[in-house]
Each structure stands twice: as structure tokens, then as C-alpha cells.
Amino acid sequence: MSAFDEFDQERQEINALLLQGYSIVSIEEDLDGARVKFIHSSLGRVPVELQLLTADARKHVTTVVISGQRPATPIETHT
């Protein structure tokens, strides 16, 4: 799997959780990557934790937090 494919898979997992209504409640980084904990307050579910291994996915989750917990939407181009 290419580096982009690994990042894209992690990005899709992050965005899917956010679109389902989960919020990021913590990010813990270490030498192995980052553990991101999500929780869905209205459903009362057990927290979901993702292990992000790619630097680009860690940048993406940081961007999501700064932008207010919404997944980035793709830019549409009109041709």
C-alpha cells in the first residue's frame, strides 16, 4: 500500500466518525503515532479510539480540531 493510500484510509476513518456525530475528545501522541479518542455524546456509546500512523493523518486531525470538528469537504471544480 502506498503512503497516500495509508493516509487516505486513516482520513476516511476520521471523517466517517465525524459525519456520524462523534467529537474528538483527546489526542495522545507518542513515537508510534497518535491515538485519537472520539465520543458520541447523544448516543452514549463507548468511546472510539483510532491509532493514526501517518503524519498526514495527524495533520488532518489537527486541522479538523482547529476548524471546529467538521471534516474537510472536497473543493468542487467547475469545468
pLDDT, tens digit, 9 for 90 and up, residues 39-75: 987 876 789 999 999 999 999 999 998 888 665 555 4
pLDDT, tens digit, 9 for 90 and up, residues 24-37: 999 999 998 999 99
**Nearest C-alpha neighbor of 40 from the set 20, 58, 56, 63:** 20
Contact between 42 and 21 under an 8 Å Cβ cutoff? The reply is: yes
* pTM to 2 decimal places: 0.80
Cell matching residue 73: 469537504
- Alpha helices of 1-79 — where are they, by DSSP H? 3-19, 55-67
Q: What one-letter code names the amino acid at 3?
A: A
